Amino acid sequence: PFYLAQALPYPIRYITTFEMYRTAKIRWFFKALDCIPKKRYLHDVSTAREILRAIRKDAVIGIFPEGERVWTGAIKSLKPETINLFRKLSNIPILPVRLKGNFFAWPRWGKGMRRAHVKVEFLEPIEIDKAWDHKQIQDCIATAIDPGDLNHPDFYCRTKRPMEDISKVIYRCPLCLSFESIVLTPHRGECIKCSAT
């Protein structure tokens, strides 16, 4: 949301989870941003009604269709309720936004934000056909927002300790499959069993 707010000249009403409203300060922040809370993993009728009310008032709704930040940077499946929402609102065009480098700026396993180059790319609007099945909608949206090559030289973490906290994700060597064999340095990890980096 931070990157989109910088890139667009108008406000966006983001759909956020109820977990974002746990403390008074955070609750105040998301209410000030006019976010729409949604119950995670549940069919939430009140959220759907609020989205429709906002659209009738010409609001722009910001949806992160995966529903959460990913652990690896690779795109994952879209939430079924998001696909259903896109189908129900098929008369409203979807503006896909591709975020490149945001995984390096704030990996899910990291403690906080890091210095990284982030590129916000707006694509041509998509109009969902009501005749499309779940897979066709999934493929269309996922292809549009996929950040592409994570190894591209323009997109890397510029912080001094980019590997900090990666052990939350990589607790086993992906090559020799040894548990707890990875030793981390500030810029890389190395397996003490097979010497993979």
pLDDT tens column, 88-112: 888 889 999 988 888 888 888 777 7
User: What's the token pair of residue 50?
Assistant: 């609020």
Burial (0-12, 13-18, 19+ Cβ within 10 Å), 8: middle
| Tokens 């989109």 -> residue | 4
Q: Residue 123 — pLDDT band, cuts 50, 70, 90?
A: very high
Give the end-to-end CA distance of the chain in Å, rounded to a whole number.
Answer: 33
What is the C-alpha to C-alpha distance for residues 45 and 7, in angstroms, rounded to an integer? 31
Whole-structure pTM value: 0.74
What is the C-alpha to C-alpha distance for residues 1 and 118, in angstroms, rounded to an integer? 12
Going by their DSSP bridges, the two strands 189-191 and 182-184 should be labelled as antiparallel
pLDDT tens column, 35-57: 888 877 667 788 888 888 998 99
User: What's the token pair of residue 189?
Assistant: 């990890």
